[in-house]
Amino acid sequence: MTDIILSDDVSRALAEGRAVVALESTIFSTLGLPVPFNAEALEICKQAIRAHGATPAVTAILDGRPHVGLTADEEKRVLLGTRKIAERDLAVAQAQRWDVGVTTVSATVALAHAAGISVFATGGIGGVHRGSEVTGDVSADLDAIGNHPVITVCAGAKAFLDLPRTLEYLETIGVPVLGWQHDWFPAFYTRSSGLPVPHRVEDEQVVCDVLRFRTRPDTGVLLTVPIPVPDEIPAARIDAVLTTALNASSEAGITGPAVTPYVLERIEKETDGESVPANLALARNNADLAARVAVELSRRSQPRE
Ligand code: PSU
Ligand code: MN
């Protein structure tokens, strides 16, 4: 990938071999969280990363150029972003010089890889959609995680997706799926989807070792971490809401990349905003763990005395 613009702090941190954590920008745009909580989410995620001495690197397309690490003014443009960019769209956004494009998980792991960043924090990843056997809707996030050597830290995926098929797909494409001090694949608002996570891990050493020992140099690792206990939304409450939101989406005839933002907005409406603090809490928690992993990775790459 050509023409990536690194912010000064990200460029310095990378040059000095210090820890950097990539952040996607769709979650912080109007497509991911309602104003003003999107700005709050961005702030608390950056703080959580900085608290470990790591440098946050938000990715986006601005003025047709891929950015990794943003200035305060650039962040403001991203918070207002309405155009979502998956990995394949990066080329189009550059060719057509899009003003502002916010990056999904797939575009972010691609940009992180190109910039030399190995750890990325998000809220939840996209996955195999329910009914994918008819619609064919499988998020590009999954293949991107399988094709870039980046550790993605997430709270699993929202249960409006087909989580058993999502796990099967990750297995097929060879992505190690780890559970952080937890035996279950998390379902974003709830700590457990009821599906076992393939491998439980207890510390960041093992996470870094999994990246180190993987047999495919271009494959990433998915590190799942459940939402903190006090912030969890009861499964029964969220299940009813997800069903309503999904039905509304199919009744409105929503398809393609519009599905996820539409369903997210409906969930927030149906829970009267209760979903928002949960979303902020898990995003912060993921950023915190990602920074710990990034610090350990940078420690390992320092030349020995
Ligand atoms: N799931 C969430 N919140 C989000 C997204 C997914 O709970 O903000 C966003 C992420 O940017 C993710 C993208 O990469 O949606 C997936 O979109 P799609 O399903 O169209 O691949
Ligand atoms: Mn899709």
What integer is the mean pLDDT of 269-295? 95
Q: Is the peptide bond before 56 cis (omega within 30 degrees of 0)?
A: no
Residues 98-155: pLDDT tens digits?
Answer: 999 999 999 999 999 999 999 999 999 999 999 999 999 999 999 999 999 999 999 9
Q: Are 101 and 81 in contact (CB under 8 A)?
A: yes
Cα separation values, 27 from 42, 280, 302, Å: 9, 10, 32
What integer is the mean pLDDT of 168-181? 98
Name the band, by pLDDT with cuts 50, 70 and 90, for residue 1.
low
Q: Are 27 and 122 in contact (CB under 8 A)?
A: yes
For the question of residue 24 being annotated catalytic, the response is yes
Report which bound ligand comes closest to the CA of 141. 1
Atom of ligand 1 nearest to the CA of 102: 11
Farthest CA pair distance, the chain: 64
pLDDT on residue 2: 67
pTM of the model: 0.97
Pairing of strands 65-68, 55-62: antiparallel
Q: Could you give the angle at which helices 275-301 and 259-270 cross, rounded to 10 degrees?
A: 130
Distance CA 217, CA 215 (A): 6
CA of 218 to the centre of ligand 1 (A): 22
DSSP string, 151-178: EEEE-B--TTB-HHHHHHHHHHTT--EE
What integer is the mean pLDDT of 25-48? 97
Angle at 114 between CA 110 and CA 119, to 5 degrees: 70
What integer is the mean pLDDT of 174-180? 98
pLDDT on residue 44: 98
pLDDT on residue 39: 98
What domains, with CATH codes, occur in the chain? 5-301 (3.40.1790.10)
CA of 58 to the centre of ligand 2 (A): 22
- Give the residues surrounding ligand 1 with Cβ less than 6 Å away: 24, 26-27, 32, 104-105, 123-124, 126, 139-141, 158, 188, 257, 260, 264
Q: Are 167 and 138 in contact (CB under 8 A)?
A: no
More confident residue, 27 or 273: 27
Distance CA 61, CA 66 (A): 4
Residues 54-110: pLDDT tens digits?
Answer: 999 999 999 999 999 999 999 999 999 999 999 999 999 999 999 999 999 999 999
Residues 283-297: pLDDT tens digits?
Answer: 999 999 999 999 999
Catalytic-role residue among 46, 74, 84, 158: 158
Residues 185-239: pLDDT tens digits?
Answer: 999 999 999 999 999 999 999 999 999 999 999 999 999 999 999 999 999 889 8
For the question of residue 43 being annotated catalytic, the response is no
Distance CA 188, CA 36 (A): 21
pLDDT on residue 180: 98
Which residue lies with its CA nearest to atom 16 of ligand 1?
126
User: Does the pLDDT of residue 274 top 90, yes or no?
Assistant: no
Report which bound ligand comes closest to the CA of 126. 1
Distance CA 263, CA 175 (A): 26
Q: What's the burial of 141, exposed, middle or buried (CB within 10 Å: 0-12/13-18/19+)?
A: buried
Residue position matching structure tokens 């939840």 = 124
User: Does the pLDDT of residue 305 top 70, yes or no?
Assistant: no
Name the band, by pLDDT with cuts 50, 70 and 90, for residue 3.
confident
pLDDT on residue 273: 86
What residue spans of the chain are helical by DSSP H? 8-15, 37-50, 72-79, 87-95, 105-115, 132-135, 140-147, 163-172, 204-213, 235-251, 259-270, 275-301
Pairing of strands 84-85, 100-103: parallel
